[in-house]
Amino acid sequence: SIVFNIVETTARVSPNATYCIVTNPVNAVVPIAAQVLKKLGVYNKNKLLGVSMLDVVRANKFVNNERTPYPNQAAVPVVGGHSDITIVPLFSQLQGPAVSKSSERLNALAVRVQNAGTEVVKAKAGAGSATLSMAYAGATFALLVVDALTGKSNPVVYSYVDTDGTQPSSFLAIPLLLGTSGILKRYPIGRVSD
């Protein structure tokens, strides 16, 4: 209800606003925000972005920890959703030296990315969640969006959005090109391994 109230208030005050929804569950909150904006007659599918950057940050970190001699160079696309098994890291699109040719190892890494939030909660013995890494991911995403909206750059990001008919699902985390008017282009997901 907090997100509902924020979206509703923002829409009334600034009907052309760009929204970066980071509140969990992103898979549910983004479609709800879309409905609120539609009800108010100000929905712009190119200005509503669900922040799934934390999944990308985690996938990159886990892969980079295993890649030698080229650590910190992986850019793993992560599509799907932003919870558990809906998170799909696309190791098949990883550039440069492979982490492993073993499908077992890649599957284990995918499961680790999917369960990373639970892993953090367990490590903190239930006394918190991934606040610092979420803050980092949220800030990184927000700065990319600001750069795009101000015309500084046109970044490609992965975000949970209205797919505008480009995918079988109405909402999905997909690769996007951002610009001064929000989403300029929704890219195909690309090659997916088994």
Q: pLDDT digits over 79-127, tens only? A: 999 888 899 999 888 776 666 667 788 888 889 899 887 777 787 777 7
Per DSSP (E only), the strands in 19-168 are 19-21, 48-51, 78-80, 87-89, 156-162
68 pLDDT band, cuts 50/70/90, is: low
| AA identity, residue 71 | P
- Both tokens of residue 103? 């499908």
Q: What is the pLDDT, as a whole number, of residue 179?
A: 98
Tally of CB atoms within 10 A around 155? 15
Read off the pLDDT of each residue in 74-79 and give the average, rounded to a whole number: 87
Q: What share of the chain in percent tops pLDDT 90? A: 61
**82 in catalytic set:** yes
Beta strand 182-186 with 48-51 is unpaired
DSSP symbol at 102: -
Return the residue matching tokens 């699902």: 169
Read off the pLDDT of each residue in 135-156 and give the average, rounded to a whole number: 96
Model confidence over 48-63: pLDDT tens digits?
999 999 999 999 888 8
103-114 vs 53-66: helix crossing angle, rounded to 10: 140
Return the residue matching tokens 């910190």: 72
Catalytic residue among 47, 58, 82, 186: 82
